[in-house]
Amino acid sequence: MKNKTKQNYYFRSFFVIGVFLFSLLFLYCTNHPVTHEDNEKPKRNFSWSIDTLKYPGSYQTLMRNIWGASHDDIYIVGHNSSGFGKMYHYNGENWEAVKLTQGQGGPILGPIDLNYIFGLDSQHIWATGERYFWNPLEGGTYTDSCMIVFFDGITWIDQPVHGSRSISSLWAHDPQNAWATSYDGLIYYYNGISWEKSTEFEDVQFASIYGSSPTNIFAIGSKFDTMPYDSVLNYVFYYNGNVWSKIDSLYEHIPPYTRNSIWLLNDNDVYIAGWGVFKKNNGGWSRIFNEDAWISKVRGTANNNLFAVGAESRIFHYNGNDWYRYDQFTSPYAITGVWADGNEVIALGNDGFVSYVFHGK
């Protein structure tokens, strides 16, 4: 009888321990879901198609930047010599020119040019660039001024910004916290009501800004015509929620001579596109990709699912182990933008006259 009681005791003890260990395993798996980055490489075998964009009657249709809320809600922006066709929208099937300016029947006073587009979702989208004014006092020429327009899901609205020339880039954390950079050293802040100057760095041409939170924002800019001769001084700036400061600088000779864009995957993973791809580490920046290639943008969904695009029709993919080039694109296009959601990738480029959209599924 005593042996039987002892056996029951052991059985109950092992059963309780087993249930406890199973519960721990279940909680761990629930709180640590398996992702692409954990155990599998993302796909590379995309089926590609190419769309050609040329606004009717225009000499140049040069789209520069891309942003999407989803695979069937994509915007691209840039320059068009005819004054129209500065922005296109993709609905999953077709690209249509957005009637943005008053000359097209839209709400925005023109003429304008667009540099960049960024959104939070389909009801909160900003586009930046410049607006041109006829100035008879300067020999009857056009002068430009900074411009930011905002889409609320229904219409595009001017958001006045003053004291600068062209706005080069914009990043927003939420509708009440957004930052924008200019080509003449200014950084602006939007509080949900108005754009105000946040700080100024003399003689710096800001190219790009991106962040992960209102206390973790990076911007890059360049100072030209510096010594030694034919070189440029590249800066990296950082905002900690209180103040902007220079955290890094680098001289480069021409060519190559500048960093093009900065992008954050999360709080800690920061990438710069330039002559190759650079990633921030504890001691500075590591060049993680060097194909002797000018890279304009880096985007992706994980550290092992990155796309880099640039000159001479270059589209690269990183799967965590190596970089792969989609070498079916051989024309000398300058690819200036890329968007990806894990299932599809869309790259944007032009040949100096016509724009092309490379769509991989």
Domain membership flag for residue 76: yes
Domain membership flag for residue 42: no
| Contact in structure between 141 and 135 (CB atoms under 8 Å) | yes
List the CATH number of the domain containing 240.
2.130.10.10
What residues in the chain have per-residue pLDDT under 70? Answer: 1-41, 134-135, 137-143, 225-230, 251-258
Same domain, 186 and 293: yes
φ/ψ (deg, to 5) at 166 = -70, 140
Same domain, 17 and 125: no
- Per-residue pLDDT, 162: 87
Same domain, 53 and 90: yes
Domain membership flag for residue 208: yes
Domain membership flag for residue 39: no
Same domain, 13 and 120: no
Domain membership flag for residue 38: no
pLDDT in tens, 37-78: 444 667 788 999 999 999 999 999 999 999 999 999 999 999
Same domain, 154 and 278: yes
Same domain, 27 and 53: no
Same domain, 19 and 64: no
Domain membership flag for residue 352: yes
Domain membership flag for residue 40: no
Same domain, 179 and 56: yes
Same domain, 24 and 53: no
- Per-residue pLDDT, 254: 55
- Per-residue pLDDT, 19: 39
Tell me how many domains the chain contains: 2
Enter the pTM of the model.
0.85
pLDDT in tens, 204-232: 999 999 999 999 999 999 887 656 556 77
Domain that holds residue 29: 1-33
